[in-house]
Amino acid sequence: MIEIRVLDPSEAELVGDALGLARLHQGNGFYLVAWEGEEPIGHLHLALTDPPEMQDIQVASHHRRRGVAKALIAAAEEEAWTRGFKCMRVSFSIGNQPAESLYGRCGYADSGLEPKHVKGTIQIRTGPIEVDDVLVYWEKQRPADWRPAVGRRINCLSLNETARAT
């Protein structure tokens, strides 16, 4: 069974070694981590901006195409909707077909914002990196009929429950 829960500080080293945690000390959100037993197999950083933005979405290569990213996205949406937000945003590199396909299947569409050219040195947890990229922004509105999940918390959500919740 795959379980999704909020990253506990005591697990940061294990998850960081397995998947990296580029935005760990960003300060405006938190990580959701997908676990299979004791193994971290994916994560997503949810920045609590307005609108909230999904960032640093990673799934271990040997666990891809099993619904892990989709489950992480559903868990992030549940968390944002529960906090009262009505819209979610994600950005990705222009031309990144796998990302575009995934987000499209999850109900995201072009936000209407102009693509943004990002160039220069950025600082992440593991040190500085050089970037030269063009990002597009997609959004999803909270469904009008959305209601909070009853008797279920994001900090312990199974993949099967997440699939049914979307």
Q: Is the pLDDT of residue 117 over 80?
A: yes
Pick the CATH number of 2-139 from 3.40.1740.10, 3.40.50.280, 3.90.25.10, 3.40.630.30: 3.40.630.30
**Location of structure tokens 């909707």:** 81
pLDDT band (50, 70, 90) for residue 160: very low
Distances (CA, A) of 68 to 23, 151, 157: 20, 22, 12
Tell me how far apart the alpha carbons of residues 50 and 60 are, in angstroms, rounded to a whole number.
29
Quote the pLDDT of residue 122. Answer: 81
Tell me what percent of the residues of the chain surpass a pLDDT of 70.
90
Tell me what percent of the residues of the chain surpass a pLDDT of 90.
65
* Count of other CB atoms within 10 angstroms of residue 100: 17
Q: Is the pLDDT of residue 164 over 70?
A: no
pLDDT band (50, 70, 90) for residue 163: very low
Q: Is the pLDDT of residue 25 over 70?
A: yes
pLDDT digits (tens, 9 = 90+) for 45-86: 999 999 999 999 999 988 898 899 999 999 999 999 999 999
Distances (CA, A) of 120 to 25, 54, 115, 154, 161: 20, 22, 17, 36, 41
| Reported pTM | 0.85
Q: Which one-letter DSSP state was computed for residue 71?
A: H
